[in-house]
């Protein structure tokens, strides 16, 4: 039995990692279960919240073993999303491309279950900013296997620049600023967009680097090169052909016209970035 946390930089590929893991037999990987975010908005401090999260895994595991549907944000047919925002099976993609989305609507909840699970099945849940914000406490539990997905900063920052609303602002993600006030402080500082994005990226990457002895850091680029990378991490060799076909349709990120400005910002702030992407 394994309880797995999937987290990472926003827009870096954590949804893809969750979908790949979900394709394993005897495994369920929830892409963005609503309960952890809903409970995070209650007045719980970090330690009680993390204890609740351990219990939520117990409850979810029991529900799935009883064939009771659980709630997740997925495609309508219950298959996992490869991209939390721009999966081709989500209407949001068209809204953003048409320029008619002025905010990020909530994903569509789906109730689903999975056949053929035994009592020792792997259960994973994915949230990027929420789980990263409480990561220092989660690692102390020695309970979860934790995977953090990172990606080339120019790809990530270019994607952030296309979001229909700010990446981090007061109340976005809702109610979790108390878990990671340093991140909110960066977003509210008087900085240019490039400097703000570079410092936010550094904050995520710095947290993963400091906890590197307790978590598995996975580069998106390595995952695209070898989609079975996570399967090998869990002792499996085969990967679903259906997932491979969906991955082949993914488009690569295009660097923003601000790429040069972003590079300049990382030369100033990118201490951890240079460790993982030295050729930036």
The answer to whether 34 touches 172, Cβ cutoff 8 Å, is no
Tens-digit pLDDT string for the chain (280 aa): 689 999 999 999 999 999 999 988 899 999 989 999 999 988 889 999 999 999 999 999 999 999 999 999 888 888 888 887 777 666 544 544 555 444 445 556 889 999 889 999 999 999 999 999 999 999 999 999 999 999 999 999 988 887 766 666 555 555 678 899 999 889 888 999 899 999 999 999 999 999 999 999 999 999 988 888 888 888 776 666 656 666 665 555 556 667 888 888 888 888 999 999 998 8
- Are 112 and 78 spatial neighbours (Cβ–Cβ below 8 Å)? yes
Residues 92 and 85: beta-carbon distance below 8 Å: yes
Question: Number of C-alpha atoms within 13 angstroms, CB side, residue 273?
Answer: 26
| pTM reported for the whole predicted model | 0.89
CB 172 within 8 A of CB 200: no
pLDDT of residue 101: 47
Contact 62, 50 (CB under 8 A): no
Residue 90, φ and ψ in degrees, nearest 5: -115, 140
Q: 122-126 and 27-30 as β-strands: parallel, antiparallel, unpaired?
A: parallel
What is residue 122's three-state secondary structure? strand
- Just give the CATH number of 2-276: 3.40.50
DSSP letters along 196-256, please?
HHHHHHHHHHHHHHHTTTTSEEEEHHHHHH-TTHHHHHTT-----HHHHHHHHTPPPP---
């Amino acid at each position: 039995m394994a309880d797995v946390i999937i987290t990472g930089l926003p827009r870096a590929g954590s949804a893809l990692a969750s979908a790949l893991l979900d394709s394993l037999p005897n495994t369920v990987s929830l892409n963005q279960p609503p309960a952890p975010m809903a409970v995070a908005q209650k007045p719980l401090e970090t330690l009680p919240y993390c204890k609740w999260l351990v219990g939520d895994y117990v409850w979810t595991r029991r529900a799935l073993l009883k064939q009771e549907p659980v709630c997740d944000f997925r495609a309508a047919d219950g298959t996992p999303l490869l991209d939390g925002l721009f999966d081709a099976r989500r209407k949001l993609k068209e809204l953003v491309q048409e320029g008619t989305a002025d905010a990020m609507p909530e994903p569509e909840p789906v109730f689903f279950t999975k056949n053929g699970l035994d009592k020792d099945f792997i259960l994973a849940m994915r949230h990027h900013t929420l789980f990263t914000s409480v990561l220092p406490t989660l690692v102390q539990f020695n309970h979860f296997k934790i995977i953090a997905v990172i990606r080339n900063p120019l790809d990530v920052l270019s994607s952030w620049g296309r979001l229909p609303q700010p990446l981090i602002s007061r109340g976005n993600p809702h109610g979790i600023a108390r878990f990671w006030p340093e991140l909110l402080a960066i977003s509210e500082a008087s900085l240019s967009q490039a400097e703000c994005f570079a410092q936010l990226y550094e904050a995520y990457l710095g947290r993963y680097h400091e906890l590197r002895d307790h978590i598995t850091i996975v580069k998106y680029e390595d995952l695209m090169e070898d989609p079975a990378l996570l399967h090998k991490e869990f002792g499996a060799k085969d990967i679903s052909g259906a997932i491979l076909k969906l991955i082949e349709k993914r488009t690569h990120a295009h660097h923003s016209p601000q790429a040069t400005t972003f590079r300049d910002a990382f030369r100033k702030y990118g201490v951890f970035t240079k460790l993982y992407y030295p050729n930036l």
